[in-house]
Amino acid sequence: MSRAAAPFVHSAFYRYVALADPAAMAESLRQLGARLGAPQALGGSLIVAAEGLNAVVAGTPAAVDAFEAALTRDAAFAPFHGLAFQRSACTAMPFGRYKVAHKAELVAIDLPADAGPVDERDDSHVAPADWDALIARPDVVLIDNRNHFEFRLGRFRGAVDPSVDHFRDFGAYVQAHAEAWRAAGTTVAMYCTGGIRCDRTAPWMRSLGLDVRQLQGGILGYLADRCANPPVDAKADEHAWIGDCYVFDRRVAIDATLAETGLTPEQVYDPARPDEAWRLARARRLDGAMSPSPPPSLPPGPPRNPPATSA
């Protein structure tokens, strides 16, 4: 769907930067949303911490344009100037409210206090245009830095599924395989939805002596690049992404063209897995769908990959 035809626009972004007063910044963001017509014209979920901002917003094109302009121009939001926004179209409003939360950290993961500072521009970042060639190398192991249900919906070819139900469990998976990867001289490539999970874990993984590469802009950045720069010969240059990408809003998932798939929570979550059963119940509650739902119809997925030192 072209932007002109889309009634709503979704924008995802984050920034790791030290904030002197995160509570005051959170209040400034609440006031900005109110000025732009939240929650009718603008909705979203924003997390502010001393280490920065992690956010998604959606609304009318005018409201999202004004929101992004404020974050990149207004003096009150100087720490966020230069932000990169990852946009996609929405056929319906994907958020029912505009919520700004002040939390201790942007993403919940158990890492040592000396895990190392996040650098969103260091040389571990690989541009989308160079990603397919990297993950095709025999000395690279490709790790999906997301939860299992996200992997099941879509992933890059050859990716290993750590089979975690919570992001905080990813560190244990890395520690269990780090010695073998180092011994084999393996390059560890990883990706996540928008990049924030990889940015958070990459410094710590390098502190373990690993050669780490991460996809700049995550899956969303990769798909946007492919949409903006389609290959001349699709058969000769087929990209490495397969399936759909889970998104944390009412759209549920988007396809390789960043379009909504129409998938329902029942088609995403496996109620036989305790953590996914909880997620399914929450999705139904948020959608106001408390009535009995149809039986789940999970999309087929490959068997979980065993631990490996090469992709």
Each residue's pLDDT tens digit, 264-295? 999 999 999 988 998 898 888 766 533 333 33
145 pLDDT tier (thresholds 50, 70, 90): very high
User: In CATH, what number is assigned to the domain containing residue 296?
Assistant: 3.40.250.10
Q: What value does the mean pLDDT take over residues 168-185?
A: 94
Which of 102, 131, 157 finishes a domain? 102
Which of 56, 71, 102 finishes a domain? 102
Q: What value does the mean pLDDT take over residues 114-134?
A: 88
SS3 83: coil
114 pLDDT tier (thresholds 50, 70, 90): low
How high is the pLDDT of residue 258?
94
| Together in a domain, 43 and 177 | no
| Together in a domain, 138 and 253 | yes
121 pLDDT tier (thresholds 50, 70, 90): confident
Higher confidence at residue 236 or residue 231? Answer: 231
Residues in the chain, overall count: 311
Which residues form the domain of 196?
A: 112-311
Which of 52, 82, 102 finishes a domain? 102
| Residues 228-265 as b or e (16 or more Cβ within 10 Å = b) | eeeeeeeeeeebbbebbbbbebbbbbbbbebbbbebbb
Residue with tokens 């924003």: 46
Q: What percent of the chain has pLDDT over 90?
A: 74
Higher confidence at residue 109 or residue 229? Answer: 229
Look at residue 308 and tell me whether its pLDDT is greater than 90: no
| Together in a domain, 265 and 123 | yes
| Together in a domain, 291 and 163 | yes
Look at residue 106 and tell me whether its pLDDT is greater than 70: yes
How high is the pLDDT of residue 290?
32
| Together in a domain, 176 and 292 | yes
The residue annotated as part of the active site, out of 192, 198, 227, 245, is 192
Mean pLDDT lowest for which of 64-78, 111-125, 144-158, 262-276? 111-125
Look at residue 35 and tell me whether its pLDDT is greater than 70: yes
| Together in a domain, 192 and 300 | yes
Total of domains in the chain: 2
How high is the pLDDT of residue 6?
73
| Together in a domain, 269 and 173 | yes
Whether 198 is catalytic is no
| Together in a domain, 183 and 65 | no
Look at residue 301 and tell me whether its pLDDT is greater than 80: no
Q: What percent of the chain has pLDDT over 70?
A: 86
Asked if residue 109 lies in contact with residue 170, where contact means CB atoms within 8 angstroms, the answer is yes
How high is the pLDDT of residue 238?
64
State the helix-helix crossing angle for 170-184 and 196-207, rounded to 10 degrees: 50
Query: Does residue 139 lie within any of the structural domains?
Result: yes
| Together in a domain, 132 and 90 | no
Higher confidence at residue 304 or residue 273? Answer: 273
Mean pLDDT of the chain: 88
Asked if residue 145 lies in contact with residue 213, where contact means CB atoms within 8 angstroms, the answer is no
User: In CATH, what number is assigned to the domain containing residue 16?
Assistant: 3.30.70.100
How high is the pLDDT of residue 230?
84
Query: Does residue 107 lie within any of the structural domains?
Result: no
192 pLDDT tier (thresholds 50, 70, 90): very high
Higher confidence at residue 159 or residue 309? Answer: 159
| Together in a domain, 117 and 14 | no
Query: Does residue 130 lie within any of the structural domains?
Result: yes
Q: What value does the mean pLDDT take over residues 5-12?
A: 89
Query: Does residue 266 lie within any of the structural domains?
Result: yes
| Together in a domain, 38 and 151 | no
Residue with tokens 């895990």: 115
State the helix-helix crossing angle for 22-35 and 61-73, rounded to 10 degrees: 150
Query: Does residue 259 lie within any of the structural domains?
Result: yes
| Together in a domain, 117 and 96 | no
